[in-house]
Amino acid sequence: MATQRAVRLSDVAAVAGVSKATASKALNDSPVVSPATKARVLEAAERLDFRPNALAQSFASGRSRTVGLLTHRATATFSRPVVMGAVLRLGSRERAALVFDGRIDAHREMTESIRTLQDRRIDGLLVVGSGYARVTPSITHQFEVPVTYAFAATDDPGDYVFLPDNEQAGYLAGRHLVERGRTRVAHVTAQADDLAVRRRDAGFRRALEEAGLTPVTTLHGSWRREWGEQALHLLDDGGQPYDAVFCGNDHIGFGMLDALEAQGRSAPEDVSVVGVDNWEEVVIDQKLRRLTTIDLDLMGVGRVAADNVIEPATAGGERFVEPILVQGPST
């Protein structure tokens, strides 16, 4: 069976009544082509369903329409949605993604990836980290194309950095508990030196201060479910009444709910509980929800970072993506 020949630039030129060179210039929005001629060429291209050859466009424009993605464990729990958001946004903007996955904090692996990316004709680079507990060394100076960082803090304040807004996540959690009439709110979270912990705590305290409240107590431990269980017993032993707990992440929140159930207590009747991460939807995609949580919109972080690689902002610095409150039965 004969296959239909793909529409060529020469076909568009013939229908528009111009030369092949003029048709090419019109499709590339060249200022030397009159508006009337451009309109005629574009109309012909649309009528013929013309699809420009990407390789030819690359040679003509000097741009590859390819963005490099340098990732730190792309399949890790919280890196994965960032990478997915970036790749999907690049695809929607007709850019290809060239992904190199490795350990950003391993010098040899990083050096090899940088050399490979430098040898490719990429139009920009997106570096995706696995969080911001540690600072990532900046590699912007090693590239002549725009470099943007997502879900990673760097040691150069001039870098383009896109992060979830952890302070706002804490604020949303605190405000939600206050709006539910809770006045004796405890905070159970991970290590005090973690940047995410500090920022979430700052937002949480700001929400309570606006209501004339202060936290009952703040307990520091780990990000693990077991810590949530242990922390409930510590709260009980502390002797201070509490009617709500803001948990630093959903794992702590699940542990808190498990411990409440083991005692014959329930949320929110006895204690309201809020977590962070939206683990039940973003990670395990389960239909049954137990916990009210704050979704950090990690896919959104990837999307806006990808946009910035294509069209860099006028100035660098940290930019934050707004989190979302996800209502569950625990409040």
- At residue 217, the pLDDT reads 96
Give dist(CA 128, CA 124) in Å, integer. 13
Question: CB neighbours of 309 closer than 8 A, spacing ≥ 6?
Answer: 67, 90, 123, 124, 125, 126, 146, 147, 148
Distance of CA 59 to the CA centre of its chain: 32
Mean pLDDT of all residues in 284-296:
83
Please indicate, yes or no, if residue 109 is contained in any of the structural domains. Answer: yes
Answer whether residue 1 is part of any domain. no
Residue 61 within any structural domain of the chain: no
Q: Which CA distances in Å does 255 have to 109, 251, 275?
A: 37, 6, 11
Instruction: Give 30 or 220, the one with higher predicted confidence.
Output: 220
Task: Flag whether pLDDT at 215 surpasses 90.
Answer: yes
230 lies in some domain: yes
Cα 130 from Cα 152, distance rounded (Å)? 7
- Top pLDDT among 298 and 281 is at 298
Q: Are 171 and 75 within one domain?
A: no
| Helix intervals (H) in 124-194 | 166-179
Rounded Cα–Cα distance for residues 79 and 149 (Å): 12
Mark whether 15 and 99 lie in a shared domain.
Answer: no
Place of tokens 């509490």: 242
Instruction: For residue range 83-125, list pLDDT tens digits in order.
Output: 999 999 998 988 888 887 765 555 555 667 777 776 667 888 9
Residues 278, 280, 284, 286: what is their CA dihedral angle, to the nearest 10 degrees? -140
Do 208 and 110 reside in the same domain of the chain? no
- Same domain flag for 173 and 244: yes
Q: Is 269 a member of any domain?
A: yes
Q: How far apart are the first and last CA of the chain?
A: 64
The reply to whether 133 falls in a domain is yes
If asked whether residues 159 and 194 sit together in one domain, one would say no
- Two tokens, residue 252: 């702590």
pLDDT value, residue 144: 83
**Co-location of 273 and 201 in the same domain:** yes
In a domain, 177, yes or no: yes
What CATH number does residue 105 fall under?
3.40.50.2300
- The structure tokens 């699809």 sit at 51
pLDDT (mean) for 237-248 = 95
Nearest to 205 by CA among 250, 238, 173, 244: 173
The Cα angle at residue 222 between residues 216 and 225, in degrees rounded to 5: 90
Residues 75 and 37 in one domain: no
Q: Both 251 and 171 in a single domain? A: yes
Scan for tokens 């969080």, then name that residue: 131
Helix 35-48 to helix 20-27 angle, to the nearest 10 degrees? 90
Number of domains in the chain: 3
Mean pLDDT within 219-237: 96
What is the residue-averaged pLDDT of the chain? 87
Question: Domain with 14 in it: what CATH number?
Answer: 1.10.260.40
Query: Do 151 and 37 sit in the same domain of this protein?
Result: no
Q: Residue 57 above 70 pLDDT? A: no
Same domain? For 258 and 311 the reply is no
263 in the same domain as 316? no
Query: What confidence category does residue 59 fall into, taking pLDDT thresholds of 50, 70 and 90?
Result: very low
Region 191-209: mean pLDDT is 95
- For residue 313, what is the DSSP state? -
Segments forming the whole domain that contains residue 154: 66-164+298-320
Give me the pLDDT at residue 31, please: 81
Do 113 and 151 fall within a single domain?
yes
Pull the structure tokens for residue 228. 């949530």
Note the pTM of the prediction, 2 decimals.
0.78
Are the beta carbons of 272 and 300 closer than 8 angstroms?
no
